[in-house]
């Protein structure tokens, strides 16, 4: 569960209430747990996020632009930029990330904390959806290991932080 959200309280809360009869119930519980995070717990969850990275085949300039945007965001707000997955091709996703960072850099810290919390909630929902094979009840004993991979904006659990879902 910590691969979906780095808040220990969030993960404990979801684990304590399992099994969930369906994915909708799991997602509703995850939303509620996200809304109930204290500012410190939200800070922990955001601190556990990693930078979104462009696809390795993206032009070098894309890597440079994204690294600079991330650095500016992290310098201003003290945590990695988070954005929930959206529709579109990978190239459009990169533009969405860059636009999001540039737009959100203008936010006041309190406003950005609210936006980041909402984006984190959407990201957590996407990660949870990926943990369950289609048709498997949420919290069933069969469990599922999340795949490795990518950055936080891909909607996948962070590499090295995945746990079996039981």
**Euclidean distance between CA atoms 102 and 96, whole angstroms:** 10
Please indicate, yes or no, if residue 162 is contained in any of the structural domains: no
Instruction: Write out pLDDT tens, residues 39-51.
Output: 999 999 999 999 9
Instruction: Write out pLDDT tens, residues 126-146.
Output: 999 998 876 555 554 433 333
Q: Please answer whether residues 82 and 71 qualify as being in contact, where contact means their C-beta atoms are separated by less than 8 angstroms.
A: no
Please indicate, yes or no, if residue 2 is contained in any of the structural domains: no
Please indicate, yes or no, if residue 140 is contained in any of the structural domains: yes
DSSP letter, residue 133: P
Please indicate, yes or no, if residue 15 is contained in any of the structural domains: yes
Using alpha carbons only, give the angle 95, 126, 56 rounded to the nearest 5 degrees: 40
Looking at the structure of the chain, the number of domains it has is 1
CATH of the domain at 89: 1.10.3330.10
pTM summary value:
0.78
Please indicate, yes or no, if residue 147 is contained in any of the structural domains: yes
Under 8 Å CB-to-CB from 82, ≥6 apart: which residues? Answer: 46, 49, 116, 119, 120, 123, 152, 153
Please indicate, yes or no, if residue 139 is contained in any of the structural domains: yes
pLDDT of residue 150: 34
């Amino acid at each position: 569960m910590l691969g979906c959200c780095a808040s220990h309280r969030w993960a404990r809360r979801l684990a304590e209430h399992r099994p969930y009869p369906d994915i909708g119930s799991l997602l509703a519980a995850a939303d509620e747990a996200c809304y109930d995070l204290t500012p410190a717990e939200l800070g922990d969850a955001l601190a556990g996020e990693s930078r979104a990275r462009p696809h390795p085949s993206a032009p070098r300039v894309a890597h440079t632009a994204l690294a600079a945007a991330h650095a500016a965001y992290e310098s201003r707000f003290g945590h990695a930029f988070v954005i929930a997955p959206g529709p579109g091709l990978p190239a459009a996703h990169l533009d969405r990330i860059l636009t999001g960072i540039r737009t959100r850099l203008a936010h006041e810290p309190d406003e950005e904390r609210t936006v980041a919390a909402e984006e984190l909630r959407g990201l957590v929902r996407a990660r949870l959806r990926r943990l369950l094979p289609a048709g498997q009840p949420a919290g069933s004993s069969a469990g599922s290991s999340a795949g490795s991979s990518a950055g936080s904006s891909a909607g996948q659990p962070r590499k090295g932080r995945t746990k079996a879902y039981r």
